[in-house]
Amino acid sequence: MQYAAPGTEFNVYGDGVYTSKSPLGPYTYAPNNPISYKPGGFMNGAGHGSTVIGPNNKYWHFGSMAVSINVNWERRICMFPTEFDKDGLMYTDTSFGDYPHYAPTVAEKMGEFTGWMLLSYKKSVKASSYYDNYKPENIVDENVKTFWVAEK
């Protein structure tokens, strides 16, 4: 049984599982919880999700990532490859989850990290204008909660 841990209002929260041999229980808390959790990077969170079987019978976990600009619970959808270890415990690979990955339709590499790295972090940028506190350097600060807006 999969569950969403509380904490939508925070930038980090996750999903976990309980296991049982029967749908009616008893249930045991999985020792590797949370199965989906992403505490850092451009996008944080990976909670309040669900796990599905996709192309080629590959498991995928869809969760929500914190944006929290307009309201504390503002989120975006994320998608991570999900596996089961040798003991049958589910885990979700959120490593570099906010970087490009191969699509589920790329059979030999589906869901794998492409290896493309961020090259613009903290680089010098210029803009002809900016509005209020939405400065040009916000576009290279690796923070989804900041952005550049041109002057009206």
Question: What is the reported pLDDT for 1?
Answer: 93
User: Tell me, what's the pLDDT at 45?
Assistant: 82
Q: What is the C-alpha to C-alpha distance for residues 10 and 94, in angstroms, rounded to an integer?
A: 18
Average pLDDT over residues 110-123: 92
What letter would DSSP give residue 101? B
In a domain, 43, yes or no: yes
Domains identified in the chain, total number: 2
Q: Which of 59, 73, 145, 63 has the alpha carbon at shortest distance from 110? A: 59
72 and 142, same structural domain? Answer: no
Cβ burial, residue 123 (10 Å; 0-12/13-18/19+): exposed
Name the pTM for this structure.
0.83
Q: What is the pLDDT of residue 23?
A: 94
Q: Which domain holds residue 150?
A: 118-152
In a domain, 138, yes or no: yes
* CA dist., res. 56 & res. 121, Å (int): 36
